[in-house]
Amino acid sequence: MFALKSLILILSLYVSALVLSKVFTFVFAIAFFLIRMLVLVAVSFMVLHFFLKILFKLDLIETIFGKRFFQRKF
């Protein structure tokens, strides 16, 4: 009886590992894609802000958020 229970436990752990590996692969792929897109948007925004500030003396962050955003007292 003990051998049967041990065999069932080992088989169930193996099946759960197979299923969860597929699920976690899918979840990690989506998370990696979203993080990569967020980093791409943030870096492109900062590069655009840098070049606009150098070339045209235009502060992109101040234009988007306004002057009062940086004058707030917490």
pLDDT digits (tens, 9 = 90+) for 17-73: 999 999 999 999 999 999 999 999 999 999 999 999 999 998 888 888 887 777 766
Cβ neighbour number for residue 62 with a 10 Å cutoff: 13
72, two tokens: 């707030």
What's the half-sphere exposure (Cβ side, CA atoms, 13 Å) at 45? 11
pLDDT of 16: 95
